[in-house]
């Protein structure tokens, strides 16, 4: 199979996959609403639960990933100049480490806020 036919086949498969994904999302959304109506629930009153610390979590994750990316850049251009092949893994590992540290920090902040709120509620 030559590359021209492979490109055409890839375009067809990607287009069909995209169409099937959109169709499935809409179908499942409608099916969920019909199931709610059958059970006597009002689908308009349904609101997903809010996540009050979602912005904090994403912010700390992105800040941690950015610090990891910056540190990997500095290390790859300063300390590891001769190791061109292994620098990719340095980038991945530092992004993962600092991103995880950001998520852990987010967890600690959320836990502290929840415990403080419970203590204030119990004192009343």
Write down the domain spans for the chain. Answer: 1-47, 54-123
What pLDDT shows up at residue 122?
A: 84
80 closest CA partner among 64, 93, 98: 93
Q: Locate tokens 């987010």: which residue?
A: 106
What pLDDT shows up at residue 51?
A: 75
Q: How far is residue 122's CA from residue 78's CA, in Å, rounded to a whole number?
A: 54
What pLDDT shows up at residue 6?
A: 87
34 closest CA partner among 47, 26, 21, 20: 26
**Chain segment 15-26, per-residue pLDDT in tens:** 999 999 999 999
**Chain segment 37-66, per-residue pLDDT in tens:** 999 888 887 777 667 788 889 999 999 999
Q: Locate tokens 């995880």: which residue?
A: 100
Average pLDDT over residues 75-97: 83
User: How many C-beta atoms surround the C-beta of residue 42 within 10 A?
Assistant: 8
Using the predicted structure, report yes or no on whether residue 101 has a pLDDT greater than 90. yes
63 in Cβ contact with 105 (< 8 Å): no
What pLDDT shows up at residue 104?
A: 93
């Amino acid at each position: 199979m030559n590359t021209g036919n492979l490109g055409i086949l890839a375009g067809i498969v990607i287009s069909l996959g995209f169409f099937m994904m959109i169709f499935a999302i809409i179908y499942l959304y409608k099916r969920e609403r019909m199931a709610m109506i059958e059970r006597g629930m009002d689908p308009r009153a349904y609101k997903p639960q809010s996540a009050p610390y979602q912005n904090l979590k994403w912010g700390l994750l992105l800040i941690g990933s950015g610090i990891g990316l910056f540190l990997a850049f500095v290390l790859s251009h300063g300390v590891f100049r001769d190791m061109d092949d292994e620098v990719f893994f340095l980038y991945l590992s530092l992004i993962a480490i600092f991103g995880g540290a950001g998520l852990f920090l987010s967890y600690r902040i959320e836990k502290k806020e929840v415990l403080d709120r419970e203590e204030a509620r119990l004192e009343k």
